[in-house]
């Protein structure tokens, strides 16, 4: 079952913050986050493996609430380079099922 | 180190023709995944291999699609006969092993247009 992401699209000004949510109706064993820029391949951001786990990479971080079967991606003080489509992936028994994506546009 | 290599990068063909997409995974990676991306359906997993063996092909849309991995460094996705609705970007990805705890590395994709 495909995870559901919200919102579908976000427009920000440089320096603003954003949160992207990912939820699943089935148990989440792990959550992956990828970013895809227009015309390019998805690029890995991070994996969260355990409930309660939080990770950060530069000013992008994520949390994983296993009980609520959801994960959130936090983008702090957004930069122009953050623009793209963000996908969460539900990991289970060897494969990933991706959400529909959240398009983020950062304007100067 | 070279990343995942896919060829061709672009393919334009006519309905009914056979199409073969190629992928070379990252050396040492044991798992290979084929995805299809369209605006309507997003990023869909078609099939994945572990140690050259197909593990799950439940995402393959129909019998017109087939995939092989004859060795650890090469995989093909074939569509025969192709139809306009097959137009999409096809990505190949590889990871060190299967399992939800492994990062996947994506190739640049093949943009397929079926006229």
How many Cα atoms occupy the beta-carbon half-sphere of B110 within 13 Å? Answer: 27
Nearest chain A residue (CA) to B57 = A95
Residue B36 Cα, gap to closest chain A Cα (Å): 11
* Cβ-based contacts of B110 with chain A (< 8 Å): none
Q: Select from A29, A37, A96 the residue whose CB has the most chain B CBs within 10 Å, as the one to mutate to test that interface.
A: A96
| From B42, B50, B91, residue closest to A94, measured CB to CB | B50
Span A40-47, mean pLDDT? 94
Confidence tier at B100 by pLDDT (50, 70, 90): low
Nearest-5° Cα angle at A90, A58 to B49: 105
Rounded Cα–Cα distance for residues B19 and B112 (Å):
9
* A11/B contact by beta carbon, under 8 A: no
User: What is the β-pairing status of strands B88-95 and B74-79?
Assistant: unpaired
- The separation between the first and the last C-alpha atoms of chain A, rounded to the nearest angstrom, is 37
The predicted structure's pLDDT at residue A28 = 78
Confidence tier at B97 by pLDDT (50, 70, 90): confident
Among A62, A42, A28, A58, residue whose Cα is nearest residue B43: A42
Preceding omega of A59 cis (within 30 degrees of 0): no
Confidence tier at A66 by pLDDT (50, 70, 90): confident
A42/B106 touch (CB, cutoff 8 Å), yes or no:
yes
A102 alpha carbon, distance to own chain's centre: 8
Rounded Cα–Cα distance for residues A4 and B24 (Å):
31
The predicted structure's pLDDT at residue B92 = 98
Span A3-22, mean pLDDT? 96
A32/B107 touch (CB, cutoff 8 Å), yes or no:
no
Rounded Cα–Cα distance for residues A68 and A83 (Å):
28
Whether B98 shows a pLDDT value over 80: the answer reads no
- β-strand partners of B44: B36
Checking phi first, is residue A59 left (phi over 0); if not, alpha (psi -120 to 50) or beta? alpha
* Tens digits of residue pLDDT in B23-70: 999 999 999 999 999 999 999 999 999 999 999 999 998 899 999 999
* Cβ-based contacts of B44 with chain A (< 8 Å): 98
Span B85-108, mean pLDDT? 90
For A3, residues 6+ apart whose C-beta sits below 8 A from its C-beta are A22, A23, A24, A28, A88, A89, A90, A97, A98, A99
Q: Select from B26, B43, B109 the residue whose CB has the most chain A CBs within 10 Å, as the one to mutate to test that interface.
A: B43
Contact between B113 and B12 (Cβ < 8 Å): yes
């Amino acid at each position: 079952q495909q995870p559901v992401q919200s919102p579908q699209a976000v427009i920000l000004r440089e320096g603003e913050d954003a949160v992207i949510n990912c939820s699943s109706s089935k148990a989440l064993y792990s959550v992956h986050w990828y970013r895809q820029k227009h015309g390019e391949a998805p690029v890995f951001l991070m994996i969260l493996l355990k409930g309660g786990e939080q990770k950060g990479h530069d000013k992008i971080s994520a949390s994983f609430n296993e009980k609520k079967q959801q994960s959130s991606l936090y983008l702090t003080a957004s930069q122009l380079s953050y623009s793209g489509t963000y996908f969460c992936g539900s990991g289970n028994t060897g494969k990933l099922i991706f959400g529909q994506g959240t398009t983020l546009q950062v304007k100067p | 180190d070279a990343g995942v290599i896919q060829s061709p990068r672009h393919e334009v063909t006519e309905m009914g023709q056979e199409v073969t997409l190629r992928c070379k995974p990252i050396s040492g990676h044991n798992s290979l995944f084929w995805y299809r991306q369209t605006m309507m359906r997003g990023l869909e997993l078609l099939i994945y291999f572990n140690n050259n063996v197909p593990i799950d092909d439940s995402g393959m849309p129909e019998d017109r699609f087939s995939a092989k991995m004859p060795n650890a460094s090469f995989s093909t996705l074939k569509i025969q006969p192709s139809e306009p609705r097959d137009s999409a970007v096809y990505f190949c990805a590889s990871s060190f092993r299967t399992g939800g705890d492994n990062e996947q590395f994506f190739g640049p994709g093949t943009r397929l247009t079926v006229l």
